[in-house]
Structures are given as structure tokens and as C-alpha cells.
Amino acid sequence: MTTTTSTTRQHAPAGELRTRMPAGRWARELGWRHLVGVLAVLFAVFPIVYVVSASLSPSGTLTGSNALFSSTSGANYAELGDTRFWTWMANTLVIGVVTAVGTVLMGAAAAYAFSRFRFTGRRVGLTALLIIQMFPQMLAFVAIFLLLISLGEVVPALGLNSKLALVAVYLGGALGVNTFLMYGFFNTIPRELDEAAKIDGASHAQIYWGIILRLVSPILAVVALLSFISTFGEFIIARVLLQSEANWTLAVGLYGWVSSLLEANWGLFAAGAVISAIPVLALFLFLQKYIVGGLTAGSVKG
């Protein structure tokens, strides 16, 4: 009889078990979590709804968006075709993708070296990366500006107003926290795999490209996503280096529309912001299954 009752409880629906729990206990143990979750969602969603409402408002101002969706029109989105918005979008995507790929390749190579090899200065190098990444790259924008002026006289492709130069600057600060994320994940891969591959005659390059990188694909996806997002929204360095409007990124171009208080077109700005969020959202959803594993697995063994 006892066994039958226990089996019945195990197979009872979750909703039935919840209804048996006293209301006060459910509120203390579970109810407050639902309340906090709902408040967090409302807090995060309201700015998005406000921006979407402003993008659909034909007035071109933010004051008319206080009454959400009181008047809607697609004029702001249609007007984007008469601007350089799509050129800025293309520039941003190219710079973001190239920087993300370069960051992954550089960070993975550095993390593999620190994880698998023992050499003089290894611990000092890790410490130096940890200290350097504490200082934002934007602190050096004056030095970067002067450096590119001089470099542009020798190699014009790496001077001011060059997208290639901007990518090079971004890659210059690509190590640091990315290397530490990958380093922790590389340490979770057993060294026995390397030794077994060496016995079978595999070289270091074959082990690295054919075995290790496939096993650490979650952290590669996470680093690529973080690099793409940070590059996609970066403003200060891009504004300093890119002087031609045709070479601007989205962050610089959208700012130009609202930099003048008397001529600011917030409706156009909001429409551009909504569209510019789509690539980041799509990439996040595509790589979502890697994010949790990539960020947590590296903390198992440092």
C-alpha cells in the first residue's frame, strides 16, 4: 500500500502537487521569485517598447512617444533608404565580423599556448594580460590617433579614416579577458587527448585545429559573440579614427543624427536603432546554446 501511494505521488502532475502546497508557503518559497522575474522583464522590455514606439511616430521627436503607439507610421523606416544608414550597417557588420574572427583566432592561440606549454615568463604573461585588460582601450585613443597619423604616412591603408586600421586597433586590445576565458576552458580538455594524438603521429597543428578547437567550440562562440557586440556598439575610437561619413559605423552615424539638439531627428534615430539591434539579436539567439556552457565550463578547472 505504501509503495502504491509513493508511486502515485511520483507520477502526479506538477500542477496538482503545487495546488496542495499552502498558499502562504508557496508565496514564501516560489511566489516572490515569479514577482521578481515579472518586474525584471517589465524593466527590460519598457525601453525597447518606447524606442519602437518612437520609431513609428511620424513627429520625429521623443515627446510624442509618451503616449505609446498613439500614432504609427512607417515613414521613419522608409526615410532610412535616403540616408547612408545601410552603408553604415555594412561597414559595422564587416568590421564586427572581421574583428570577432580575429579575436577568436588570436585568443585561442594564446590560450592554447598558456594551457599546454610550460615556458619562461608564462605566469608573468598571464599576470600582465590580467592587469592590462583592467584598463579600457579608449584610454589610449590620443596615442592611437597620433600613432595612426604617423603610420598613415608610410602605409596609407593603416592611417586615419581607414576601416582596416580600426580593425587593427580593435585586435590590438583583443587579448586579456578573452584569453582568460579561453584559458580556463582549454584547461578542462584532458591532456591525455594530446598525448594519444601524438602517439598516432599527429603534429601540434593537427592536434590544435583538428581536436582542441572542436572541443572548445562553446567558448569560441562566446568570445566571438562578446567581441562582435562590443565592436558593434563601440563609439569613441571609431569616431576618432573614421573621419569620412562613408566610412562611419552605425554608432557614429546614428549619433550624428541627434548630436545637434536643434536638428535632432529622434524618429529616424529610433528606427535605425531598432534595425541595428536585429543582427545582434539574431546572433545571440543562434549562439544561445553555447553561451551558458561556454561561460561556466571554464570555471571548473583554472
Residue 14 lies in a domain: yes
Question: What tens digit of pLDDT does each residue of 139-190 get?
Answer: 888 888 999 999 888 988 888 889 999 999 999 877 777 888 888 888 888 8
Last residue of a domain, one of 21, 40, 73: 73
Q: What is the CATH number of the domain that holds 257?
A: 1.10.3720.10
158, 223: one domain? yes
67, 137: one domain? no
- Number of domains the chain is built from: 2
Q: How confident is the model at residue 293 (pLDDT cuts 50, 70, 90)?
A: low
Residue 284 lies in a domain: yes
Residue 37 lies in a domain: yes
39, 133: one domain? no
Last residue of a domain, one of 73, 106, 125: 73
98, 194: one domain? yes
32, 180: one domain? no
CA dist list (Å): 148 to 25, 63, 169, 283: 65, 42, 10, 32
Cα distance between residue 244 and residue 236, in whole Å: 15
Cα distance between residue 263 and residue 259, in whole Å: 8
Quick one: three-class SS letters along the chain?
CHHHHHHHHHCCCHHHHHHHCCHHHHHHHHHHHHHHHHHHHHHHHHHHHHHHHHHHCCCCCCHHHCCCCCCCCCHHHHHHHHCCHHHHHHHHHHHHHHHHHHHHHHHHHHHHHHHHCCCCCHHHHHHHHHHHCCCCHHHHHHHHHHHHHHHHHHCHHHCCCCHHHHHHHHHHCCCCHHHHHHHHHHCCCCHHHHHHHHHCCCCHHHHHHHHHHHHCHHHHHHHHHHHHHHHHHCCHHHHHHCCCHHHCCHHHHHHHHHCCCCCCCHHHHHHHHHHHHHHHHHHHHHCHHHHHHHHHHHHCCC
Residue 90 lies in a domain: yes
66, 94: one domain? no
- What range does the domain containing 109 cover? 83-299
87, 225: one domain? yes
Q: How confident is the model at residue 1 (pLDDT cuts 50, 70, 90)?
A: very low
Q: What is the pTM of this model?
A: 0.81
10, 149: one domain? no
Tell me which residue of 248, 246, 251 sits closest to 233, measured CA to CA.
251
Q: 156 is written with which cell numbers?
A: 596609407
40, 100: one domain? no
Last residue of a domain, one of 73, 96, 121: 73
230, 135: one domain? yes
Residue 78 lies in a domain: no
Q: How confident is the model at residue 23 (pLDDT cuts 50, 70, 90)?
A: confident
